[in-house]
Amino acid sequence: MNLNVDYMISIIPLMTSAATYTIKITVLGVFFSFLIGIAGNIVYYYKIPFLSGFFKGYTEISRNTPIIAQLFFLFFGLPQVGITLSGFVCGVIALSFLGGSYMVEALRSGIESVSKIQKESGFALALSKTQILVYIILPQALRTSLQGLFANVIFLLRESSLIGAIAVPELMHVARSEISMFFRTEEVLLMLTFYYIILIAPISIFFTFLEKRLRYAR
């Protein structure tokens, strides 16, 4: 197996721009997922009647369907009924749809880990339900659910590789196109692996470091 290193170097700009695209789409997906996560937990906390059921249903649907099915439905299915969205938007929507439910669950487990008596002591001190949520529950819940939240971020980064299925120029798709044009499979795959490692590994290490630091701070 002899690798053409010059070729590998030549595709660096291409791969880098694809990686940037991946980062953009994932950052947005993570952001909206997180928003959904917070929204869902606010709904659960205040026990808002109709929306609680809605979020529960949403969670079930989102976690029991693959992102490919969600993507294809959004990108290929919707135009037939008149809604046409760009590949980028579909990608973000699909990532947010999928990631949102995971964020809701991760935060929820953190919130539920704060003992009931902590809440009660807040009530005994005349705090309102909202004040208890903001000052007592959320700070503790975020620390506890941090690991789950970080895992979700890395999960979404990996899932972004599938968004190439709708022809958006993210890493995997660009790599595939390149291979189908020039057939230098090993070189491209190596570069692809390399790029994913430098995308995900530092984030993973950073998260572990953050986690450890926050644990000592208690």
Partner 1 sequence: MQDNMNWLEFLISERVLLLDGIYQTIYVSLIALFYSLIGGLLVGFIRCIPNKISAFISRIYLESFRIIPLIVWLFAAFFLIPRFMGRGFSSEASAIWVFTLWGSAEIGELVKGAIQSLPTIQRESALALGLSKTQLYMYILIPQAVRRLIPTVINMATRIIKTTSMLDFVGVIEIVARSRQIIERTVEPFIIWSFVFFFFFFLCYPLTLWSRHLEKKFR
Partner 2 sequence: MELRNITKSFGDKKVLDKVNLNVKEGSAIVILGPSGCGKSTLLRCINGLEKTDDGELVFNNIKYGDEKTNWRNIRGQIGMVFQSYELYPHMNVLDNLLLSPTKVQKRDKNEVKEMAISLLKRVGLDDRLKSYPHQLSGGQKQRIAIVRALCMNPKLMLFDEVTASIDPEMVYEVLQVIRDLKNEGMTMIIVTHEMGFAKSASDHVIFMDSGNIVEQSSPNDFFSNPKEERTKQFLNKFLHL
Q: Does residue 127 bind partner 2 (CB under 8 A)?
A: yes
Radius of gyration for the alpha carbons in the chain, expressed in angstroms and rounded: 21
Give the number of residues in contact with partner 1, rule: CB under 8 A: 39
For residue 168, give every residue at least 6 positions away whose Cβ sits within 8 Å of its Cβ, in sequence order, or none: 21, 25, 87, 88, 91
Euclidean distance between CA atoms 20 and 26, whole angstroms: 10
Secondary structure letter of residue 76 according to DSSP: I
Euclidean distance between CA atoms 178 and 175, whole angstroms: 5
Q: Which of 51, 136, 151, 200 is close enough to bind partner 2 by CB under 8 A?
A: 136
* Residue 79 amino acid letter: P
Q: How far is the CB of 53 from partner 1 (least distance, A)?
A: 16
Q: How many CA atoms lie within 13 A of 18 on its CB side?
A: 26
Q: Does residue 120 bind partner 1 (CB under 8 A)?
A: no
Q: Does residue 53 bind partner 2 (CB under 8 A)?
A: no
Q: Does residue 126 bind partner 2 (CB under 8 A)?
A: yes
Q: Does residue 53 bind partner 1 (CB under 8 A)?
A: no
Q: Does residue 89 bind partner 1 (CB under 8 A)?
A: no
Q: Which of 36, 43, 90, 172 is close enough to bind partner 1 by CB under 8 A?
A: 172
For residue 146, give every residue at least 6 positions away whose Cβ sits within 8 Å of its Cβ, in sequence order, or none: 110, 207, 210, 211, 214
Q: Does residue 46 bind partner 2 (CB under 8 A)?
A: no
Q: Does residue 192 bind partner 1 (CB under 8 A)?
A: yes
Euclidean distance between CA atoms 178 and 153, whole angstroms: 28
Binding positions for partner 2, rule: CB under 8 A:
117-118, 120-121, 123-128, 131, 135-136, 139-140, 143, 218
Positions touching partner 1 (CB under 8 A) are 60-61, 63-70, 72-73, 76-81, 154, 158-162, 165, 172, 175-176, 179, 185-186, 189, 192-193, 196-197, 200-201, 204
